[in-house]
Amino acid sequence: MATISASKLDTLDALRITRRPEKERGTRKPYGFVVISVAIVLAVAAGGYALYRRVLTESLSVETVVVASRPTSQQGTVLTGSGYVVTRHKYIIVGTKILGQIVAEPIEEGQRVKKGDLLARIDDRDYQAQLRQAIADRDLAVANVQLWSAKSARQRELFANGIISKDDHETAENALSVAQATLKRDDAAIDYAKFQVSQCLIVSPIDGVVLQKYRELGDTINYGGQVQAGGGATDIAQLADTADMRAEVDVNESDISKLSIGMPASVVPDAYPDARFDATLVKIYPEADRQKATVKVEVQIRQPNLAIIKPEMSVKANFLEKRIAGKDRHPLVVPAKAVQREGNNSYLWAVRSGKAKRIPIIRGSETQDGVEVLEGLNSGEVIAITPAATLSEGQKVRATTQDSVSR
């Protein structure tokens, strides 16, 4: 192998490229990432600020109302219960004590009847014949009494003169007694026959309304016949006494201490929410319902509209504070839909200087006109009736005001 000369080695060293030493990995600072992050944060902040400025500067149309107060005698609601319309005497089932075919029945469900009105008439030809026979039997008994009265008088005279024996005298007296007893029996038979004839006319014992008919024209009343559900063998119709209409309401037993006899109330039918009837608490049942933990009460409806109030109709009863003579209340009442809730707190949106202002309030009882506000609201305040969900504190609003609310 040939030996390389020293001059050639020097030439190779001159051709070698010298590299700079590399910096250790991981020591480069991420200046670019930091710059990008800062830019994103600034962009988001700028967008949020722009949105915030837009919310503050843009006005939102809001339907409002001016709240005002004035003295009123309206009572506050103590509590509310649900129940059904009943009558004082509940329901009366009218029937007959005799059997026969119904030949007239001029009633229908829902028809109002007066005391003495005809409900049904039963074929009375058999009973009329029995009455005539009883009258004839009585006439025969009257004749026998007259005959034996005369005979007995003669026999007493003959016995006193010793012409007839004591046996003949007693036989005549006994025959007279039998004739008189027969007359009494026949008189009773006539009374019974007249009663049966009277039972052929079934009339209403009350002023009321027909709830249900158990029989139809042409039906035959007999103990083996079929009747509608709820009726007996001789029942004709079920009536309700409309002279005393009531609402039967279940009240939670923990609230029963708030009620007392004579307390005013208002009754609102579920089917007619705009109809309200004055009522008075007249009965608190002495026994509670263990399973439901309720106590049943009754309120008497004053001047019920019988075209609306019907037995078994669902109603709500609002028990009211007793009115104190000479004292008027000054509540602020706002529409119920204007009151907003957040947890256990209530608030309203007011419009002040063209901007929305959230007002915390303490609400009172709910009346037929709205919700009473006990604290937090002043008379003359402009409030939003139906505030939008996007409404925010300080946002500009355009108020479209309705008539003032004054209660």
DSSP string computed for 364-388: EEE-SS-EEEEES--TT-EEESS--
For 132-153, what is the mean pLDDT?
Answer: 90
Task: Give the C-alpha distances (Å, rounded to integers) separating 340 from 67, 81, 284, 371.
Answer: 16, 24, 37, 11
Q: How far apart are CA 129 and CA 135, in angstroms?
A: 10
Residue 194 confidence (pLDDT) above 90 = yes
Most distant CA pair in the chain, distance:
208
Nearest-Å Rg of the Cα atoms of the chain is: 49
> Could you tell me what percent of the chain has a pLDDT over 70?
76
DSSP structural state of residue 23: P
Strands 405-406 and 59-68: parallel
pTM of this structure = 0.49
Our measurement of the distance from residue 21's CA atom to the centroid of its chain's CA atoms, rounded to an integer in Å, reads: 95
- CA torsion sign for 206, 210, 216, 218 is positive
In 3D space, the residue among 334, 328, 370 whose CA is nearest the CA of residue 70 turns out to be 328
Task: Tell me if 122 sits within 8 A of 283, measured CB to CB.
Answer: no
Residue 132: what pLDDT? 94
- Mean pLDDT, the chain, as a whole number? 79
**Which amino acid type is present at position 192?**
Y
Q: Give the model's confidence band at 66: pLDDT under 50 very low, under 70 low, under 90 confident, else very high.
A: confident
Residue 128 confidence (pLDDT) above 70 = yes
Q: How far apart are CA 214 and CA 228, in angstroms?
A: 5
SS3 of 169-195: the string is: HHHHHHHHHHHHHHHHHHHHHHHHHHH
First-last CA distance in the chain: 124
In 3D space, the residue among 342, 347, 354 whose CA is nearest the CA of residue 382 turns out to be 354
> Could you tell me what percent of the chain has a pLDDT over 90?
19
Residue 134 confidence (pLDDT) above 90 = yes
Task: Tell me if 217 sits within 8 A of 104, measured CB to CB.
Answer: yes
Task: Tell me if 281 sits within 8 A of 319, measured CB to CB.
Answer: yes
Residue 185 confidence (pLDDT) above 50 = yes
Q: Give the model's confidence band at 325: pLDDT under 50 very low, under 70 low, under 90 confident, else very high.
A: very low
pLDDT: is 327 or 178 the higher one?
178
Q: How far apart are CA 178 and CA 156, in angstroms?
A: 17
In 3D space, the residue among 66, 39, 78 whose CA is nearest the CA of residue 385 turns out to be 66
Residue 214 confidence (pLDDT) above 80 = yes
The string of pLDDT tens digits covering residues 76-113 is 677 888 899 988 877 888 888 888 889 999 988 888 88
Residue 367: what pLDDT? 64
Task: Give the C-alpha distances (Å, rounded to integers) separating 254 from 79, 250, 296, 360.
Answer: 12, 12, 13, 30
Residue 223: what pLDDT? 64
Residue 238 confidence (pLDDT) above 60 = yes
Task: Tell me if 220 sits within 8 A of 122, measured CB to CB.
Answer: no
Strand, helix or coil for residue 255: helix
For 30-54, what is the mean pLDDT?
Answer: 63
- 265, HSE (Cβ side, Cα atoms, 13 Å): 32
Task: Tell me if 99 sits within 8 A of 221, measured CB to CB.
Answer: yes
Residue 42: what pLDDT? 73
Residue 308 confidence (pLDDT) above 80 = yes
| Number of residues that this document lists for the chain | 407
Of 44-48, 84-88, 134-138, 146-150, which gets the smallest average pLDDT? 44-48
The string of pLDDT tens digits covering residues 272-291 is 888 889 899 999 999 988 88
**Which amino acid type is present at position 290?**
R
Strand, helix or coil for residue 132: helix
Token readout for 289 is 């319902």
Q: How far apart are CA 87 and CA 262, in angstroms?
A: 18
Strand, helix or coil for residue 253: helix
